[in-house]
Amino acid sequence: MVIGRWRLLAAVGLLTVAVAGCASGPRYDLVIRGGRVMDPASGLDSVRNVGILAGKIAAISAEPLASDSVLDANGLVIAPGFIDLHAHGQSTSDMEIQARDGVTTALEMEVGVYPVDPWYQSMVGKAPLNYGATVSHIAARFAVFHDVEVGHWPLNRAATAGLGPDPAGANSAANPGQVEALGGAIRRGLDEGALGVGFGINYTPAATPDEIASMFRIAAERKMPVFVHTRAFGIGAIREAITTAAATGAALHVVHVGSSAGDDLPTALALIDSAKAGGMDLTTEVYPYTAASTMLESALFNPGWQANLKIDYPDLAWAKTGERLTKESFDRYRKEGGWVIIYMMKDANVERAIAHPGVMIASDGVPFVNGTGHPRGAGSFARVLGHYVRERKALGLMDALGKMTILPARRLEGFVPAMKNKGRIAVGADADLTLFDPATVIDRATFTEPTQPSAGIPHVIVGGTFVVRGGELVKGVFPGKPVRVSPPTK
Ligand SMILES: [Zn+2]
């Protein structure tokens, strides 16, 4: 560590010499030559050379930089690596697919994990991308009601499958002792370095507003944020989350506002803006698709789902086959369990959220099962850059990049110091970089071929190591590091 820091400082110091024109500058581990650096944090948009040393950005210069390893970036944008605050796909293969979409940090903030420490341990040596998670209210409920350690719920559905079709962890109100136990679990998760508290209230419909408020209060006491999938779809539930956060003092991030607000999207964005203007620490995100996806066996499809989602059977597609559902196939597949695609959003609303100032891009990518799933886990970021920026001209390129880099970094950096080194191209920042061609970048994943990698993103670098090079995945490299809060010193 000491040597690394000395080398970095030496490199930064010697940069002055290089800029002054001396031929014998420092030698970097890697130099990216002649790319268009676009850094939303500083506003820099110019052709530069970028020098990387010991996993950090050590130089950003208009002058030549020396290295044995030089990557020509002529014609490419060099952007900070994309930070996905909503990545359920945390397996190596899911991360490899996200790498092709320019993601360098994939955080599981909505559902989260519980227990926290074993999950972080399980990721060591398997992660091409930086990873991290909140402590999960859903998984804590399964622990309290069933004494089952779910870990990462969407990846470990076997753990809850044995609990029958109506598990108490989702569908039973907690008594005061159970609320106390849930609070203990949340505190333990935060002690173990979780990045906040994750809620999927629509998946635990029996969790009362009082229970949720108790958990928000713990987050507020610990000065950590809450990431919330609201109790229902539409403005009422978003208002409930904001009101609870305001009453408890918790910093709130409302996940996937495109689906959660549904047809109320304009009202929801106005409500969020006015609460922010009133001083709340409140943010939101969107994924660039008009269909949602989740597990058919989950409590989200408890009776009454048609009214909640404002859809009916034919608006659901079974992800494995693409077939649209009927009452008969819905009942059958709900017993079997698996992913469905939910056609429920209006394109104009999705585009409006993507273009709206302050709304971040996050994929909500769900784990791919044998190549089936929702394309958002493979194409969200390229789709925004190619479709919404270039083709639709819904927003500018720098604004779009800000929504994928510095905004998510800032969302967390007040709580998670490591995020101060991410989401920007600056000397001393982590060398997480995404190089793409703004003229060709585009998503290729579709609902029939959801794992098709994005195009026009030839190079992706995590902590100075290529995970994508020359348009190809680099197999067998795992430079991803944990994003985690240091346990508090007592
Ligand atoms: Zn969700």
pLDDT attached to residue 19? 41
Q: How much distance in Å is there from the Cα of 236 to the middle of ligand 1?
A: 16
CA of 384 to the centre of ligand 1 (A): 20
- Given a contact cutoff of 8 angstroms between Cβ atoms, the answer to whether 396 and 376 are in contact is no
Residue with tokens 């060591």: 124
Q: For residue 119, how far is its CA from the centre of ligand 1 (angstroms)?
A: 20
Report pLDDT for 9.
43
Centre of ligand 1 to C-alpha 260, Å, is 8
| 45 Cα to the center of ligand 1, angstroms | 35
200 C-alpha to ligand 1 centroid (Å): 6
Q: How many Cβ atoms from other residues are within 10 Å of residue 243's Cβ?
A: 13
In the predicted model, residues of the chain with pLDDT beneath 70 are 1-24, 155, 487-490
For residue 26, what pLDDT is reported? 86
Q: Which residue in 172, 175, 197, 174 sits closest to 114, CA to CA?
A: 197
Ligand 1 center–CA 204 separation, angstroms: 12
CA of 433 to the centre of ligand 1 (A): 28
Render pLDDT for 199-244 as a digit per residue (tens, 0 to 9): 999 999 999 999 999 999 999 999 999 999 999 999 999 999 999 9
What are the tens digits of pLDDT across the range 33-49?
999 999 999 999 999 99
For residue 183, give the nearest of 225, 145, 137, 150 by alpha carbon: 137
Q: What are phi and psi of 377, to 5 degrees?
A: -75, -10
How far apart CA 107 and CA 403 sit, in angstroms, is 15
Q: Say how many Å lie between the CA of residue 264 and the centre of ligand 1.
A: 17
Q: How many CB atoms lie within 10 A of CB 445?
A: 27
Kindly give the distance from the C-alpha atom of residue 284 to the centroid of ligand 1, in angstroms, as a whole number: 12
Residue 487, pLDDT score? 64
Say if strands 44-53 and 56-61 run parallel, antiparallel, or are unpaired. antiparallel
Ligand 1 center to 482 CA (angstroms): 23
Ligand 1 centroid – CA 428 distance (Å) = 34
In terms of residues, how long is the chain? Answer: 490
Report how far residue 243's alpha carbon sits from residue 264's, in angstroms, rounded to the nearest whole number. 17
Distance 52 CA to ligand 1 centre (A): 37
363 alpha carbon to ligand 1 midpoint, in Å?
11
Q: Which two tokens stand for residue 465?
A: 């190591």
Please tell me the distance between residue 364's alpha carbon and the centre of ligand 1 in angstroms: 7
DSSP 200-216: EGGGSTTS-HHHHHHHH
Residue 461 CA to ligand 1 center (angstroms) comes to: 28
Confidence at residue 241, expressed as pLDDT on a 0 to 100 scale:
98
| Ligand 1 center from residue 229 Cα (angstroms) | 5
- For residue 158, the model assigns a pLDDT of 77
Distance (Å) from CA 397 to ligand 1 centroid = 27
Q: How many CB atoms lie within 10 A of CB 330?
A: 18
Q: What is the pTM of this model?
A: 0.93
CA of 485 to the centre of ligand 1 (A): 24
Ligand 1 centre and the CA of 110: distance in Å?
7
Distances (CA, A) of 348 to 197, 316, 328, 362: 31, 21, 33, 18
Say what the pLDDT of residue 125 is: 96
CB 355 within 8 A of CB 337: no
